[in-house]
Structures are given as C-alpha cells and as structure tokens.
Structure 1
C-alpha cells in the first residue's frame, strides 16, 4: 500500500488532449461528444465512457456518484457551463495540459482551458490543420510548399510540439529513407491543390510524410495519432526508424489493442515514447519506465478529462500496489516510477518547467 499511496503525490501532466466545448449542452449534444456509436434506441451513457463520467463527475458538482444523466445535466445547467467546467477540470488532478488545437469545433484554446482548470497549458500544433490553412491562401504548388515551411517554422516558436496522423508515414517506396523527393512532393502538392475543397486537410501519405519530416527538422516532439481501428504503430515503422538520430522525440498514441506494440518500439528506439490513457500495465510491462507518459486524449467535454485522469490514476495505483505486494517493486521504486509516468517524463520530453 505504500507504493499506491506514493502515486497520489503531485499533479498529472496530460501530454495530449483538446479543448472543451464552452456552452451549455443538452443531453443530445452532450452524448455526441462521448466516444463510440450507440445502437438505435440506446444511449452512450450505457458505455464504459458513460459509466466513468457518471462515477467520477457528479461528486464534483455536488451530486452522488452514478446519478441519472438527466439529473447530472440538470445540475450542470443550474451551475452554468463555465462554473461546471471549472469545477470539473479542477477535480482532475491535472496540473499541466498539452492541447492539440487542430480538432474541429468551437473548443476553448489552451489558455482558457488552463485558466478554468487552474493549471498551466501549452499548445501542440496539428500539422494537417496547418497545411489546410496554408493551402487555403496559396495558389501554386511551389508557393504552397514555401509558405508551409515558413508556417511550420513559425508555429515551432510558440508551441511545445506537433501532432499528425501516423497512418501512411512508414509505407510506400522510399518511405524508410527520409523525406519525399522534391519532384514527387511538388507533383503531390499540385494534385492536392487542384482537387481539394477549401477547408480540407491533406490525407495522402506522401503529403503527411512531408509534414512529419518538416516537424522533425524543427526539433520539437512529434505526437503520432493512431486510429483506434487501424494497424497501429507498425504502420509508421519505417518513419520511426528513419528518424532515429534526427534530434526530435516521437510520442506514439496507440489504441488499446496496440499498447504492447508501441511499447516494443519505445524499447527499441531511444527517441520513441508512448502516451497511455487507460491501463498502463501492458506498456509498463515492456517499455522502459522513462518512456511512458500520461496522455488522456479528452476532447469536447471536461467530463472526459475527469474520467480519463481518475481512471488512469486508479489503474496506476492498483498496478503499483500489486507490484509492491508481490515484492517485485519496493515502495520507493513504485513512487519513483509513478512520478515519471504522471509528470516527469512529459516535462522532460516537451521541455516543460518543473512542477
């Protein structure tokens, strides 16, 4: 139990999340932000995420755990959106937020999220959104590529990291050897500019590879977003290995089915780290402990920040207690590992000030 108690010390650094919706939400609008797709005539409150919200969030608004969704949302409206979000975020245990600002929707920016949560907040720039913004104001492929390079350099001055999709980064001819050849890149950019609609983002692997290599050249950490249903970190294997020694760290965000695979890349490659949301056991069973970061991935609802942080802390507590009870870890080692995973690793990787 000493190891488990040690986990409660200090704030979490959430290495990856998004803004929250600032307005009051009815039950239908609230459910649209819960992860998953409900069957007809059912509700997403009857899901792991819905039950986690009902377990952890009502007490922060003065209600009993597991109260009905209708009662919870009525209390949320009674307090008002700002006060509800403020209470919820300040109940997460998160002291620092790293916020990907590329999610569509009217979500609050990092500064407002941090102010509501009484925490520090820093920006992670989504590369696909940056390319979309540049493309909307560029006429030719050459102008687009020049403006894009300038925009990535400018974004690096005010952000702590970049993020992009991982799928496609490691596949295709020449993918493992480095950035796309200039002629191929110019042709791909011209095709995309000719066919795109205003506001659309690039999805072609060659364009994504170019964006990722531009971010690596800036030296900031690059967060690689993996689709839950996709092939996992193996899809970016060529890119992961090709960027070794380039001076930028990579943070993988695998789905639940791919945590162990991501941990193996972190074990193999010095510049690769793993962000975990739920049970950290599969990753901590393989990856070096200095390679694992908490990354809740919440978007849209402050409730998802609460549920992810509370759930993760409970899993980490249980894991450490079990290891200490089995004699595999000492109580002091359990506290040290917890401090790394909860905050220390993220502060080191993203260059954040001490807590």
Structure 2
C-alpha cells in the first residue's frame, strides 16, 4: 500500500525484503493495557491521568495499520484492538506483525534487558523464527562492561576481563553497538586514555559496579577496546545518536578511526540528520539511518527526503528500532517504505531521476548497503 503511483520496478524494489540493521526483541508474553501503553512510545512512563498513549502518532498508527493484520477494521478502538490482541495471543500477534514487516534479516540488540518493559523479550533467533527471516546479534558494549564490573576484583582484572569478554561476544555477532551518546554525549575526546588512568578509574568503578557507567575515562577506554575488537574482526560499530546526542560531536573521533577502516554507523539521527549526513558524505567509513523517525514522527516523509538530499545513497540504511512490541517493527518498515516511496516519486515526477536510478537506490537503502557493511 504505497502512497504514490510508481513504475513497477521501483515498486518491486520498495516492497522487496528489507534488512533491519538495528532492532530489539519484542515481548513474548500477553500484555495488559497498561503494559502495552508503556511500550507504544519511547518514554516508558504512563500517560497523565485521564489520557492515553493511544492519542499519539504511534498510537494512531497502531490502530490504522496494525489492526488489519489482526483481522480488524482500520482505526479499531483501542479496547477492541487490545481485546483482539489478547484473543490471538502474543505468539500469533508477533508472527503476524514481524512477518508482515517484510524483513529478510533482523540484526538484534538483545543485551539491554534492564527494565520491566524488557523483562521477557524474544532472542535474536526467536525474532528470526517469528518473522520468517534470518537473525544475527548486535553486542551492546556497555552491557558487557557492566557484567565485567560486577565480577572483577581489581582494576587490572577489569581490564583483562573486559578485553576477553568483548572478543568472545564479538565472535558471535555481526556488529557492536554503543549508547555512549546517552551517557556522556558524542562530543568525545578522541585520545585513548592511559593505562594508569584506566586502572585508577576501574578501581573506583568496582566499588559500586551496579551504578550506570558515567566515568569519561572508562567510557573512552571501553569504546577504544570495542574499536580494537571491531577492527580485528571486521565489524562495524553503531553509535546511538539523535535526540540528546548530536552526531556532529563525533567528528574528531571519526577522523581518528578513518585509518583503521572500522565502519561507523550513526543510528536514529533525527533531528540531527543533516549533521549526520555531512559526516557520511565527508568520511568514507561513516553510515547513517533515521530509524526512529518514520514510526514516531508525523513528518517521516520529509525526514527521509532530506536525508536523501544530503547523504550518499550507498551510506544510508534502514532500521525499524523495533522494541518491546512487534507493532513497532511492522510500523517501522511500513513508514520507511511510504516515506521513501514519496521521496522517489517526487524525483521521478520532475525527471530528476530515472526509473533505474530510483529502483537501485531503493535496493541499496533497503538491504544492499547493510548486506555489504555487515557482510551478511
């Protein structure tokens, strides 16, 4: 159901199976309305008294687009939608929606089960089985650091164990991921910290290992350790950016990485997609997506169109940022296709692009670029 009339080859390219290069597991259990509403948006908190998260762009999208996959009319009332969801059961709902997304491979960050909303989610392999797709794991480096900090006895032990655990987990993964932007921003000092400074910071860290890692010395050490592993294994490193983390701050660090050849992928860059697009154009190892924008932004067509204006086509990727609800995976794919269709349609209508150009770009962004970068 594309929003514009397009030549057959372009439609086929847009509707071809996607590689979702960044998503999370979805809940395997049946959810109450309160639990479901916590997962509709990004905040993870209840709506104010007397209101509902169904009165949001994502809530309206669930009722419009996901309802038909559950055998309901579009715009089904929330109570009707949730009753049907409960009737089918979480397993069947997950199968219908994940398969409906039209994804050929899920790359899953399954290492962030830190809150009640992440309590019981599908593994990467289960995501693949439910969606009828291949699946691989993305390793979140901050989770590895926390696991090591909770078991290490001394700062020196911490350093050795962190390097070993990163290497072991990377051996089973297609990429590494960091949320350092959420912890300290992306305006990073590109220098590697000294060993002495790291040992001293690690000893402080081990005094309270369950606390969120915020020490800039250890965060930089963790990041450089991950880069070393990524270089050795030929893996990309994903940087969570976007709201609260302007990717432009990464420019000095990105410049340091260029000689190493480690691909840097800037995730969910809206509303800083212009800055991210600049980095993708300026550096051969930098790639970009606008993941969260399509399902959660009413102006998704404009965001995707602007990225297409600014970033090299071979540097753009698709991700749904599916998390918690299979609905988010389905909507991420649907809105991505709608937004890219509108952007390609406008270029075809003015004669700016040929039909073959539009089809080639749709294939690149939808799956080809991810296959190359992650060596799928």
The equivalent of 1:268 in structure 2 is: 282
The equivalent of 2:204 in structure 1 is: 191
**Structure 1 pair 213/196, CA: closer, same or farther in 2 (3 Å)?**
same
- Deviation per CA, 1:59-91: give whole Å up to 9, x if none: 111111110111111111111110111111110
Does structure 1 residue 308 correspond to structure 2 residue 332? Answer: yes
Give yes or no for contact 2:269–2:288 (8 Å, CA) kept in 1. Answer: no
Which residues in structure 2 correspond to 1:67-86 (within 5 Å)?
67-86=76-95
The equivalent of 2:237 in structure 1 is: 222
Q: 1:138 aligns with which of 152, 162, 166?
A: 152
| Structure 2: segments with no counterpart, 5+ residues | 1-5, 295-299
Query: Post-superposition shift, 1:9?
Result: 4.1
Which residues in structure 2 correspond to 1:138-287 (within 5 Å)?
138-167=152-181, 168=184, 171=187, 175-176=189-190, 178-197=191-210, 200-218=211-229, 219=231, 220-226=235-241, 228=243, 230-277=244-291, 278=294, 279=300, 280-287=304-311
- Name the TM-score, length of structure 1 as normaliser: 0.93
Query: Post-superposition shift, 1:169?
Result: 6.9
Q: 1:63 aligns with which of 44, 61, 72?
A: 72
Q: 2:58 aligns with which of 49, 62, 75?
A: 49
- Deviation per CA, 1:129-156: give whole Å up to 9, x if none: 0011111111111101100000011111
Structure 2 counterpart SS, 1:59: helix
Structure 1 counterpart SS, 2:193: coil
Query: Post-superposition shift, 1:242?
Result: 1.2
Give yes or no for contact 1:110–1:121 (8 Å, CA) kept in 2. Answer: yes
Structure 1, 209-218 or 120-129: larger mean CA deviation = 209-218
Give yes or no for contact 2:242–2:272 (8 Å, CA) kept in 1. Answer: no
Q: 2:110 aligns with which of 97, 101, 110?
A: 101
- In the alignment, the residues of structure 2 paired with residue 73 and residue 250 of structure 1 have an alpha-carbon distance, to the nearest angstrom, of 40
- In the alignment, the residues of structure 2 paired with residue 120 and residue 242 of structure 1 have an alpha-carbon distance, to the nearest angstrom, of 34
| Structure 1: segments with no counterpart, 5+ residues | none
- In the alignment, the residues of structure 2 paired with residue 9 and residue 170 of structure 1 have an alpha-carbon distance, to the nearest angstrom, of 35
The equivalent of 1:28 in structure 2 is: 34
- In the alignment, the residues of structure 2 paired with residue 160 and residue 63 of structure 1 have an alpha-carbon distance, to the nearest angstrom, of 38
- In the alignment, the residues of structure 2 paired with residue 48 and residue 255 of structure 1 have an alpha-carbon distance, to the nearest angstrom, of 19
Query: Post-superposition shift, 1:234?
Result: 2.2
Does structure 1 residue 14 correspond to structure 2 residue 20? Answer: yes
Give yes or no for contact 1:276–1:296 (8 Å, CA) kept in 2. Answer: no
Query: Post-superposition shift, 1:42?
Result: 1.1
Query: Post-superposition shift, 1:171?
Result: 4.0
Give yes or no for contact 2:155–2:199 (8 Å, CA) kept in 1. Answer: yes
Q: How many residues align?
A: 346
- In the alignment, the residues of structure 1 paired with residue 353 and residue 49 of structure 2 have an alpha-carbon distance, to the nearest angstrom, of 48
RMSD: 1.6
The equivalent of 1:341 in structure 2 is: 365
Query: Post-superposition shift, 1:195?
Result: 3.1
- In the alignment, the residues of structure 1 paired with residue 76 and residue 278 of structure 2 have an alpha-carbon distance, to the nearest angstrom, of 41
Query: Post-superposition shift, 1:217?
Result: 1.3
Query: Post-superposition shift, 1:235?
Result: 2.9
Does structure 1 residue 331 correspond to structure 2 residue 346? Answer: no
